[in-house]
Structure 1
Amino acid sequence: MVPHHFKSRNAPPKASAMVEALRGLGYNVQTALADIIDNSIAAGASEIRLEFHWAEDRSRISCLDNGSGMNAAEIDRAMRLGERSPLEERSPTDLGRFGMGLKTASFSQCRRLTVASLGTDGLQVLRWDLDYLASSPDNGWHLLEGPAPGSEEHLNSLSNVKHGTLVLWEVLDR
């Protein structure tokens, strides 16, 4: 069958508007954390440590595991929205489905998501900051590298492991 040729235009969603819409997908803190823990289990973690630090506007929640960790390409894929098709074949131990859980679960609870992973090529750190997206004049999908200024110390727990991943939620607003 010959494909039809239609006129088309690129119509990407405005990043800040799309992410704000994704925040309302029906997670509560328990189901959001369960989604993060599922990722740790899929990564072969034998230990998962949740930490709740309450300090008013500097409160944070972190999830540290001793799973396999991610290399640069893997963390990049993990932090992109909709990176994997639900039609893709997956391993029986992969609890994910749409490539959205880490991000949507996190966005439902916080405005800043940092993922730091110690894998085969050393420490990799990527971050989504919804306030940065909201103030971006180009409406782009800006995945930031490294921790937010002032948050570097929160990654110290990875210095005690050979491999693993830390998911850090900051600017908790829900």
Structure 2
Amino acid sequence: MSSRDTGTEQLIKNTAKHLFFAEGKLHATTQEIADAAGVNRTLVNYYFRSRDILFDQVFNEAQEDLFQTLDDVFESDMPFKEKIKNLISVFLKEAMQFPYRELFIITEMNRHDVINAKKARIQKVNTFLEEIQLEMDKGTIKTMNPRHFAINLFSLMAYPLVTAPLNRILFGMNDEDYSALMEERKQLIFEIIFL
């Protein structure tokens, strides 16, 4: 019985992630993935049997990676302001490397009508929302529904990255200039959300 070359399998998956998350080619074909990986399309089919299975594996891993990143921040014992500063830094760092990851996750959720909201995940988010409410009660952030605070925070971080190609054209910026702008944005977001 022959053994599978997990290096090739991982190469194909990593290439698909790069195409989807870094280049924004959310609907890349099996042939495009094979070409970018430098392998024969038959190998993609051998390891994943279909484009949908490859997409599902990439989606599941991306979703878990994103949740793990958020969990690491939400579950830390840092004071709230430090926690938010760390969240902004970590999120923007990853999003600058993979600006289309969240868009891919949302697209795949819509395509499959999937909401993978486990009870443990909901409890972690609720704990974070409780922390936000405590900060509002202290007067360090503007009073609002804590869900709005979380949505505003993620919007301030994600939107400029999802719209980066358009923004680069509108502002006449190259990739390096736009990356510098996003680095400046980390502090700006922090200053916007705290009173």
Quick check: which one's helix share is greater?
Answer: 2
Computing the radius of gyration over CA atoms, which structure comes out larger, 1 or 2?
2
Normalised by the length of structure 1, the TM-score is 0.26
Higher relative contact order (CA 8 A, sep 6+): 1
TM-score by length of 2: 0.24
